[in-house]
Structure 1
């Protein structure tokens, strides 16, 4: 049994509870079939939990009328097709009662006539619902919730799926109702924001192909919204995505340069600081092939710290950049230093990061703690490194995404650094999953 997170996300985006949705679906059935619907909140609950994976025909029609999406795109799974012989064998027998047949024909004729007449009526003013700032605010609240979930739990298939469902809902609002240009621009922005969150979730779990699809869609939507801030975010994600692919460092650098050159970066010191810190990280990662990039990374990192000091703390900024504070800047600085082989400097930055991180940023704390373990191991502090790495996997929360991959790397480097030692044996016994080779 698999929960239908897609339907759940669409309900959440539309502000619909189970009972409210059931009522609206019954209204759709009455309009479509001329008979009252009998959907209850129990039916909706069964759909959400996955107990019912394919609603009945009338229920599907009502759901599609409500959300403007097919049942499959709402997260339902149709049953496998049966053979033609089985379909004929299970078909309802044709009635032989003349009275019942007459009633059925009369009812069909009345319904068909009514539908035909309705189709000839001129469209009435206000027939399409008005889409306004209340719809936008509900989606903005949903986006804040997704950002908080990512900060706590990290990227996951569930986060990716929910974000895509919200993006689709934002676009559907454009189709089903009338709206001002301001509202339309904001809906495109939110569709891009949700797509960007799906992109980040795929990047965090190293699902490169899915991430590329999300990136292309999100950039298109950001163009429609006209938001330079959103383009900055997406190009920064694009740089990390490209850096995960073999031979992708040139593309990663170009994407990071593109993020740095946006109007938003030129006009907001905080965004400029983030873009410079991410560019420095990419340059440090690529410096072995081009030594000059190491010096450029240090210059850009200094620029990131200077821009951060200039940033005005009370400026209105998008929700997605709320993670970027002095703790995160220290963490990004540590990544630059460790990629340049300056492990003592990296460790100092990491201790400052872990001392400043906000409590709710659990995903980042796990990631930077795993990074600290690797840095300590590379300085020959095997026992301390094992203790640090152990604190990540014994904290009651399973590591995911990049953190899980960092711990897998730690296990491999520990085996190489201290082969046959009790530390390696103890790590493999206590944390066998984190010792596996992962790509």
Structure 2
């Protein structure tokens, strides 16, 4: 594992929490508040894909000034208030433009109105560490965090249009791999030949921020487009992350962020391998994340690594290992205080029991998952769990009943999952609908199965996932004897043409 050299000669400069914005959220969970933001955006014709992660970053002070689309939405939500009232800094102070214009390039910080401009302060800290892998890229990462967020930027906004258009055209012309390159390249977390020729230097706060942003972008791209094509591209940022750990960090707090970020990135890359059918690669990445968690004593990262290990074991036909890994994850997660996390882990355990054909064990775990889910969201919920809502709960329960051969129950839950899923998560809609098609086919309802299968095929222009393709292939085999049923022949022909 990577080593870390830490000094504490300089104090950490943490982001200042946005307490005003946190107060406005009140008793709502970050996910619930994000839903209100999306609803407000629709009311004024804006498009933002705000989620719990974004709200968390605002409240932590990582986003000092929102992009223009979010600004319009927030001011619509809280009429009569200014950005300052909402706890944000002015755009000119964040970008450092007005301050430099007023004082000139050589003016001291004090002569520019007291506080040091964002750009000069962060640039100096980067130049102190001067890490060859991510120096310029960390500047770009800060720009992406402060100037435009990759949460469905508004297509008409000039600052957002260029990147969103690049990503849209990249996916349409080159598939997921090109999208990954377009999204991750600005972060600079790569290990090209030029970077490899230079000896690494110790990492600082900008490198940690770039690493955390890489994790967010990979998750966002997977939510929208699936894993195929993303995996190979995402492996380069992972190699760079461990190079940062080997180089060491300037402070202990930065070292902790780097280890947590590298572990989360390993899990994200492992999931891309998992979802694209590369089970051995996925197992290796999850093991790397687990080792990082154990080395640094990070129970949240450990719970996440065991959670994904349980899911992988179930899919790989090792149900007993799935049960053990899910139970280990629950032990690690117990002190974290997140009922939603424990609910998801109980579902992972239920999947293992279903694979063992233990109906009683599965039902008990499902009941526990439901009870924990009903406790609601909390601030203790991990950032990576933003995908886990009622739709995912229904989808995972559908998979359990399907494994147990109870097709009627399975199709009922799969139908609910597809209906409840937020349209933003295109991959999950395709996944739940594919599950529904297979359950209906095995239940003996071929016409409904074909109809659901055709809906999935229509989504595969946007989603690339070997898991979904494999599910559709299994459904096609079940439907072959029913070719004369309404819609079945069309589904079989289109499914075969896509695989050709």
Tell me which interval the TM-score lies in, with the shorter structure as reference length: 0.5 to 0.7
The within-5 A match list for 1:396-415 is: 396-415=461-480
Q: Say which one has the larger Rg.
A: 1
Aligned partner of 1:254 among 295, 303, 324: 324
Q: How does 1:311-350 map onto structure 2 within 5 Å?
A: 311=376, 313-350=377-414
- The residue aligned with 1:160 is 231
Of 263, 267, 271, 2:337 maps to 267
CA contact (8 A) 1:266 1:272 kept: no
Contact in 1 for aligned 2:135/2:207 (Cα 8 Å) = no
Alpha-carbon distance change, 190 to 333 in structure 1, aligned in 2, over 3 angstroms? same
Query: Is 2:203 the counterpart of 1:139?
Result: no
Tell me the residue number matched to 1:304.
Answer: 369
Partner Cα separation in structure 2 for residue 199 and residue 263 of structure 1: 20
- Indicate the residue corresponding to 1:281 in structure 2: 351
Q: Distance in 2 between matches of 1:269 and 1:331?
A: 19
1:157-206: CA deviation from partner (whole Å, max 9, x where unpaired): x4323433223323333344542222111101111111111111111112
Change (3 A) 1:284 1:16: same
TM-score by length of 2: 0.58
> What is the distance in 2 between the residues matched to 1:200 and 1:229?
17
Alignment of 1:32-431 (within 5 A): 62-66=194-198, 68=200, 131-156=203-228, 158-176=229-247, 178-246=249-317, 248-264=318-334, 267-287=337-357, 293-311=358-376, 313-395=377-459, 396-416=461-481, 418=482, 425-431=489-495
Question: What displacement does 1:316 show?
Answer: 4.1
**349-358 vs 419-428, which moves further:** 419-428
Structure 1 CA distance for aligned equivalents of residues 199 and 218 of structure 2: 21
Q: 1:430 and 1:140 mapped to 2: Cα distance?
A: 40
Asked which structure has the greater RCO (Cα within 8 Å, sep 6+), the reply is 2
Between the aligned partners of 2:260 and 2:480, the Cα distance in structure 1 is 47
Counterpart of 2:105 in structure 1 is: none
Measured in 1, the distance between the counterparts of 2:261 and 2:283 equals 19
C-alpha spacing 1:305/1:423, structure 2 compared with 1 (3 Å): same
For 1:42, the equivalent position in structure 2 comes to none
1:15 partner SS? helix
Confirm or deny: 8 A CA contact 2:273 2:282 kept in the other structure.
yes
The worse-fitting range, judged by mean Cα deviation, of 264-273 and 195-204 is 264-273
Q: Distance in 2 between matches of 1:434 and 1:399?
A: 12
Call closer, same or farther: CA 1:435–1:373 in 2, change over 3 Å: farther
Deviation at 1:65, TM superposition (A): 4.3
**Number of residue pairs aligned between Structure 1 and Structure 2:** 321
- Per the alignment, residue 45 of structure 1 pairs with none
Q: CA RMSD in A?
A: 3.0
Q: Is the 8 A contact 1:373 1:388 kept in 2?
A: yes
The answer for unaligned runs of 5 or more in structure 2 is: 1-132, 141-177, 182-191
Q: Distance in 2 between matches of 1:13 and 1:207?
A: 33
The corresponding residue for 1:432 is: 496
Name the CA distance, whole Å, in 1 between partners of 2:269 and 2:136: 16
How high is the TM-score relative to the length of structure 1? 0.66
Question: What is the distance in 2 between the residues matched to 1:142 and 1:185?
Answer: 17
Deviation readout 1:128-176 (Å, 9 max, x if unpaired) = 65x33332222212211111111111222x4323433223323333344
Describe the shift of the 1:278–1:214 C-alpha distance in structure 2 as closer, same or farther (beyond 3 A).
Answer: same
- Would the alpha carbon gap of residues 434 and 408 (structure 1) be closer, same or farther in structure 2, given more than 3 Å must change? farther
1:434 Cα deviation from its structure 2 partner: 6.2
- CA positional deviation for 1:332: 1.1
Alignment partners' CA distance in 2, 1:386 and 1:230: 41
Shift of 1:397: 2.8
1:408–1:434 Cα contact (<8 Å) kept:
no
Q: 1:357 offset after TM fit, Å?
A: 0.9
- Tell me the SS of whatever aligns to 2:405: coil
After the TM superposition, which of the residue ranges 172-181 and 186-195 deviates more from structure 2?
A: 172-181
Whether contact under 8 Å (2:472, 2:495) holds in the other structure is no
Bigger CA drift: 227-236 or 264-273?
264-273
Unaligned stretches of 5+ residues in structure 1: 1-9, 18-47, 50-59, 69-127, 288-292
